[in-house]
Structure 1
Amino acid sequence: MQTTAGSSFLRAEVDLAQEEARKRKAEKTKTLGSPIEVPGKPLAITIQGSGAWTAESNAIARLIDLESGKTRKIFKGHSGPVTSLVLHDNGRILITGSWDQTIRVWNTQTKEVISSTAAHTDFVKGLFIIPSLNLLVSGSSDKTVRFWDLSDVRSAQPLVSTGSISAHTRPVERFAGYATSDTTGVLYTADTMGIIKAWNLEKEEGTPIRWRATVRTEFKHHRTGVNDMVFGADQLWTASSDETVQVQHVVPPKETKPIPPITHPVAVKAILHLGLTELAEPYLITGAGDVIRVYDVSSPEEPELLNVIDAHWHDVTALRLWVRKTVGEDGVTRVEPWVVSASLDGTLRKWRVSELLKPAPVQAEAVPSTKEEPTNAEKPSGLTEEEERELEELMAED
């Protein structure tokens, strides 16, 4: 009992110090990045045109105008935090996943729910789409991955399940992948233990539609949960709670040096590799704690830290590229790349890429971290310790 009481006291002291540091930093960063206040804490974002689509802790999804900062549309219907979202059919369809265990399909013009699907037996934690295959992939705290057919996505009926994966032993939250033909693809799945599995996907002949997943390989280079994952140019980039960003060559080159982990002082929650976007520039942007870092990865074997930005006063949850288009008085359309960051401080912030690449004059002051390794011991509530902490942060008053 003394040990428990002592641990609780120390945790309370750490929490108080963290709260005080966040208050100071909230004042310090209140105008940085032209913040857009979001009523719910943004857990995921996607950008299309000048709009930012947000999945929020207050059980809604939202479309925000990045130019004006105003809310264009709100999508209500979930009964728990919305953790993930994807756009389909050139933005005419929005698909969301939630802690309420459902996947909802929305008409983005009317804001109406097209369908609701009881997708998992626990929280839906991630969604991924391969458009050319009409394939939606979902991951959950129930440790499964499920496949859904989008051929008839405008039907009011629940989505049709077309297969599943049950090989993970921890919640599955992050995905990457691509089509290799009209009936085949490659999928990467990552869980909160840090295990990443690569799968060959094949659409079986006949009806109903079924997708078969065959494991290709497994990566175990992270010590704990994978928080973000992107694929491109035969490289798989991952961000983890083990405080590293790592890259794996899916097709190892004949001659190469080992690529070292890019270490951070705290868990890395978000990455944006500009080289894998339409910008095609060799820069990696990371969100670890409330700080954004910029690296030159033109030589991945020797990444160079270019900038550290005191960006938010709470954890960064997502980083996305925004290709901003403006029309001048001369009628000429100008294109400028920006980065949009989302955070548990309840804001979206906008950063010119050109400014991010300039070294900052002041070193970032990170909010103190408990530095605890996430665990997955089951609690009486049915949540893991990691999920309980997540819920506390989502529901806490700012």
Structure 2
Amino acid sequence: MATSSNRDHFFQTSTALDEQHRKDAKAQNSNGNPIKLPSKILAARADPWNPGSIYIAQSSGTVRRIVLETGETAALFKGPTAPVTSVCLSPNGKLLFAGCWDKTIWSWDVSSGQPHRQYEGHTDFVRSVTSVRFRGEDWLISGGADAQVLVFNINSGQRTETLKGHARGIQDLVVDPESESSQAIIFTAGSDREIRSFNLLGGDLSEPLLPHDTSVYKLFFDNDADLWTASADKTAKCLMREDGWKANLTLVHPDFVRDIVIYEPGGWVVTACRDEEVRVWNRSTGELHHTFSGHFEEVTGLVLVGSTVVSVGIDATIRQWSLRPDELQNAVELAQKGTPTEEDKPNTESMLTEEEERELAELMDE
């Protein structure tokens, strides 16, 4: 018997149909000069060795280096057969790493594109990866849905540390920029709403920070080494180092905040939201300055490339938004002249709870 994966061949609720029609209509927009790719984009990372390029992690199991000006794929890295959730480069830029749903971290030689080594040890999805040079060695750090942080020596491939403390999965991890000269400190964000810090060479350093009510998705250190956070509690916050990591600014959103970056020259905070929007906030006052609309699915990541913030999403597009003063002001003025149509507005009304809608969507996918 023939089978079909076409969604139109299956039962769908009227709410789901209306939402799909809205997305189909919105998908035609050209805001942010979209670069369209064949599968969902789950993460992005800037390429410091090739200005104007970024690496993206895709649900198809591939990693691409994209040239933003042309939209072309300059390099394609293959191997995984499961979604790739995160990417990073080695400290010398010669190796590319990707966390994967298959519980491993894949690596490739950047120049040749050939697979290098797989780093193993997680018992569930790998959600975040980063690297650091410390004491003359290059280290790979990964966080998984198994609530563990693993540390590997990149050259030998050996796992040197297994750091535990979180009760639920790790969502993100970053290296404290003020700790690298003396001791490498890793800050981690978890689904248990905790933010923890670990010494690269082992040990939980302090009691967890609890600035949010639920999952913390992203962490970002600004130039002052203060910590910015993005959470499923629909807020983004700035935690002040000199004030014992207390929040001195809270940015309230209508939906989950998936990523956050700070554009220092303009004094802007830029956030990515599950409601498909990219928002620009005044860092000093916390006021919303502008909303970039274009994505028609959840925005999953942000990358700063010069004076441009690049956003990626489940809609399989890469979009670019200028933060140059004149171009940003022009975008604000254009937005003030026109009002969004009903097709542009997400349909948030539903008789189902959020959990029920998620379960229904999973059943429909199956």
SS of structure 2 residue aligned to 1:356: helix
- Map of 1:141 onto structure 2: 145
88 and 372 in structure 1: CA distance in 2 versus 1, 3 angstrom threshold: farther
CA distance, structure 2, for counterparts of residue 171 and residue 78 of structure 1 = 21
Cα gap change, 1:306 to 1:171, in 2 (>3 Å): same
**TM-score of the two chains, using structure 1 as the length reference:** 0.77
Residue deviations 1:44-89 (CA, integer Å, cap 9, x gap):
1112212111110001111111111111111111121000110124
Number of the residue aligned with 2:288 = 305
Aligned pair partner of 2:78 in 62, 76, 79: 76
Q: Which amino acid aligns with 2:146?
A: D
CA, structure 1 residues 291+372, in 2 after alignment: closer, same or farther (shift >3 Å)?
Answer: farther
Measure the CA separation in 2 of the matches of 1:189 and 1:68. Answer: 35
2:272 to 283, 287, 292: 287
Shift of 1:13: 4.1
1:118 Cα deviation after fit: 2.1
Pairwise mapping of residues 1-398 of structure 1 onto structure 2 (< 5 A)? 12-27=13-28, 29=29, 31-48=30-47, 49-132=51-134, 134-150=138-154, 152=155, 159-178=157-176, 180-182=179-181, 184-199=183-198, 201=199, 211-232=201-222, 233-252=224-243, 259-275=248-264, 280-288=265-273, 289-297=275-283, 299=284, 302-323=285-306, 337-354=307-324, 355-357=327-329, 358-359=331-332, 360-361=335-336, 362=338, 365-369=344-348
Contact 1:193-1:223 within 8 A present in 2 as well: no
SS in 2 for 1:218: coil
Tell me how far apart the structure 2 counterparts of residues 104 and 169 of structure 1 sit (CA, whole Å). 26
Residue of structure 1 in register with 2:4 after alignment:
none
Write the distance in 1 (CA, Å) between the matches of 2:193 and 2:146: 16
Q: Against the structure 1 CA distance between its residues 100 and 251, is the aligned structure 2 distance closer, same or farther, given a 3 Å change threshold?
A: same
Aligned to 1:379: none
**CA 1:58–1:140 in 2, change beyond 3 Å: closer, same or farther?**
same
Aligned to 2:290, the other structure's residue is in SS state strand
Q: Is the contact between residue 166 and residue 192 of structure 2 (CA under 8 Å) also seen in structure 1?
A: no
Inter-CA distance 341–149: structure 2 relative to 1 (3 Å threshold): same
* One-letter identity of the residue aligned with 1:118: E
Instruction: Give the RMSD, CA atoms, in angstroms.
Output: 2.8
Which residue in 1 is equivalent to 2:7?
none
* Deviation at residue 12 of structure 1 after TM alignment: 3.5
- Which stretch has the larger CA shift, 306-315 or 177-186? 177-186
Q: Is the 8 A contact 1:120 1:140 kept in 2?
A: yes
Contact between 2:91 and 2:132, CA under 8 Å: does it hold in 1?
no
Q: Name the TM-score, length of structure 2 as normaliser.
A: 0.84
Shift of 1:125: 0.7
C-alpha displacement of 1:319? 1.0
Secondary structure at the aligned position of 2:63 is classed as strand
Structure 2 SS opposite 1:251: helix
- The answer as to whether partners of 2:250 and 2:286 remain within 8 angstroms in 1 is no
Change (3 A) 1:196 1:271: same
3-state SS, counterpart of residue 223 of structure 1: coil
CA displacement 1:355-398 (0-9 Å, x = unmatched): 335522245644234796679xxxxxxxxx98x899x59x969x
Q: C-alpha offsets along residues 123-169 of structure 1, whole Å, 9 cap, x if unaligned?
A: 1111122234522211111111111112x1xx6xxx21111122111
Give SS of 1:73's match.
strand
Contact 1:227 1:241 in 2 (8 A): yes
Q: Give the SS at the match of 1:19.
A: helix
C-alpha distance in structure 2 between counterparts of 1:389 and 1:85, whole Å: 31
**Given that residues 89 and 130 in structure 2 are in contact (C-alpha distance below 8 angstroms), is that contact kept between their aligned partners in structure 1?**
no
**Alpha-carbon distance, 1:115 to partner:** 0.6
Question: Does the Cα contact within 8 Å between 1:91 and 1:108 map onto a contact in 2?
Answer: yes
Q: Percent identity?
A: 28
Deviation at 1:272, TM superposition (A): 1.4
- Which residue identity does 1:292 align to in structure 2? V
Q: State the one-letter code of the partner of 1:74.
A: L
How far has the Cα of 1:311 moved from its partner?
A: 2.3
**Structure 1 CA distance, aligned partners of 2:266 and 2:280?**
12
CA distance in 1, matches of 2:22, 2:256: 18
Specify every segment of 5 or more residues in structure 1 that has no aligned partner in the other structure, as ranges.
1-10, 203-210, 324-336, 376-384
- Checking the alignment, whether the CA contact within 8 Å between 2:42 and 2:85 is kept in structure 1 is yes
